Structures are given as structure tokens and as C-alpha cells.
Structure 1
Amino acid sequence: MKYLAFVLFATPVVASQCPPPPDHAEAQDALIAQVQVAPDPATAQDLSNQLWELWADAPDEVAQEILDRGMRKRAGWNLLGALEDFNTLIAYCPDYAEGYNQRAFVSFLNQDYAGALPDLDRTLALSPRHIGALSGKALVFIGLGRDAEAQDMLARALELNPWLPERDLYRPPTVQEPEGDDL
């Protein structure tokens, strides 16, 4: 562990050193299928927590330490420190979706909604079924006053997990009667 700390603080991290992110596609798909039919909020929350464990499984020990450190800083409202860690993680592992998602979350907490969008787009490009990024993007759109896009994004997230806490923000589209001659 001392060697790991030395590596993290004494040498620059280089993207070519980062291995590919773990492939959790099968496990993620299975958990999404289960949460879609979960019988109650508690079961759905447990399944959601398992999804977060998959997304937060970094490519290697160095990336995991950077991610965990950034998340601890974010949880303690050291947003600048968290941002620095997530920037480091992205530089080290540019193909790891959670680095972008966590940096977007820091931008969201700083109310930099426009700044969060590119990171959410990159997260979803790397991990299209990342429910947290989908719901996060919906919240960013709400923050930007882009309600139609927020509703579309919430609909996508709720298709994957109908138990999301943000489900109360969703307003289903209203069906308008076609105009025509009344008989």
C-alpha cells in the first residue's frame, strides 16, 4: 500500500498505463432486468446499490484509489479536491465511464450544469445503460431549464429502473386528441 501511495503522489499518471475497464455488461444487464420487476422500493434500492458497485469498479488498484479518494472528498464537500482527483482519474483512464460521471456530479453540485453535460455525454457514450448518468443528465437539464429534454432523459432512465428516486419528477407526455370535425 505504501508503494501505491508513492506511485499516486510521486509520479504522473499516464493513460497508456491504465488497463481497460472491467466488463460488467452481463452482470449489469441482469441487475437491470431484476430492478425492472422489483416488487418494492427496498429490493430496488439493493439492486441499484449493486449496480453502483459495478460502475465504481475501477480498471486497476491505482484507478480505484483515485476514484475512492475523489468520492470521499466529494462526500465531505471538498469539491475542488474531488474535481482534481476525477481529472487525474480521467487522464489516467480515459475509457472508464465512472470518472466522467463523478466529475459531472461535482459540476452538478457546483451548479455548473452546462459543465456537467459533456462529462455525462462521455459517460453515456462509454456506458449507455448507466442509469445514474441518465438520471443525472435529466437533473442537469432541469437545472438548465430544458424541461422537455429532462423528461426524455427521465423516461430513458425509468425504462431501465422504474424505482428511481427521481421518478416523482417525471411527467408522462399528455395525449392530445386530434383536431377534426366534431360529429
Structure 2
Amino acid sequence: MLEELRRPDLPNWKNVEEALWSEWSKSGSAAMDLLLERGRAAIEAEDWGMAIAHLTALTDHAPGFAEGFNARALAYFKSGLFGPALDDLARALTLNPDHFAALMGLGTILEDTGRDAAALAAYRAARAIHPHDPDLEEAVNRLEPKVSGQAL
């Protein structure tokens, strides 16, 4: 699916993206999938503490499941805990180097903390995997003029 998503002439890219998210959301355990579901529901409800609790239980019991770390990184980020969010994004990307959302999250934190050149590199890496995401295109276009002349 990743190769298909990378195709520049992909009219149904949202379907491919959804199928990929579906695959990435399968831990191989019904109990762990339930923890992910509960963590995501807490994120949706903006209950960051509950999200972190559910997702920490998930990452403790399924340390090889990249999506658990990616989801918890979002909850940490929304809580203003950038350090733990960066740690979780690094873990998610170690487990799944093609996780374009984790790369985008990394770019967002780097940009929010004034590290524009590193953020641009993260956004470009994510866009290389998912060239259809308009948010990634906008992020790259926003940062390229700011970073011109800076070493990446």
C-alpha cells in the first residue's frame, strides 16, 4: 500500500491512506486494539490524561506496536509535553520508518520549537511517503522560504 500511496497519479489516495491506517491500527491483540481505541476516543474528547493512561498501558504491553507510540505522542503533544512526545515519535519511527503521520508530528514539534530546518526535513520525508497530503504540501511550502539559505 505504501508504494501505491507514493504514486503521483493516484486519484483514490484517500482510500489507500484509510486502508493503511486500518493496517497500522492492528496490533494483533484484541485487548491492545481496545486500548488503542479507548486512547483515541480520549484524544477525540480532549481528555489528554485519560488518553495518556490508556496509551501507556498499550505501549507497556505492546512495545513493538508503532501506532501505540504515535497515538500517545499526540496526547503528550496536546498536553504540552514535547519531550515525551518526541521520545514516542522516535520510537514509532524506529518501529515503522514509513509512518508519515509520526514524521508530520515530528515536524510540527520541531517547527513549534523554532527548529524550522529540521521541521522542513521531517515534512519532506513525510511528503516523500505521502505526496498527496495537502497539509504536508502546505507545511513544506510554508517553511521552504523561511529556511532558504539555512543548512539542513
User: TM (normalized to structure 2)?
Assistant: 0.87
Q: Which one of 29, 32, 37 corresponds to residue 7 of structure 2?
A: 37
Could you say which structure has the larger radius of gyration?
1
- Residue deviations 1:34-91 (CA, integer Å, cap 9, x gap): 1222536x62222111111111111201101111111111111111111100010011
CA distance in 2, matches of 1:51, 1:134: 15
Query: Does 2:131 correspond to 1:162?
Result: yes
Q: Which one of 20, 24, 38 corresponds to residue 51 of structure 1?
A: 20
Note the aligned Cα RMSD (angstroms): 1.9
The 5 Å alignment of 1:91-170 reads 91-164=60-133, 165-170=135-140
Deviation at 1:111, TM superposition (A): 2.7
Q: Which one of 54, 62, 67 corresponds to residue 85 of structure 1?
A: 54
Asked whether the equivalents of residues 73 and 88 of structure 2 are also in contact (C-alpha less than 8 Å), the reply is: yes
Aligned identity (percent) is: 24
CA distance in 2, matches of 1:132, 1:110: 18
AA aligned opposite 1:105: L
Gaps spanning 5+ residues in structure 1: where? 1-30, 176-183
Gaps spanning 5+ residues in structure 2: where? none
Deviation at 1:174, TM superposition (A): 4.9
Q: Which has the higher helix share?
A: 2
SS of equivalent to 2:89 = helix
SS of equivalent to 2:97 = coil
Paired residues, what number?
145
Asked whether the equivalents of residues 6 and 130 of structure 2 are also in contact (C-alpha less than 8 Å), the reply is: yes
Query: Does 2:45 correspond to 1:76?
Result: yes
User: TM (normalized to structure 1)?
Assistant: 0.73
Could you list the structure 1 runs, at least 4 aligned residues long, displaced by more than 6 angstroms after superposition.
Answer: none
CA distance in 1, matches of 2:148, 2:13: 28
CA distance in 1, matches of 2:8, 2:27: 27
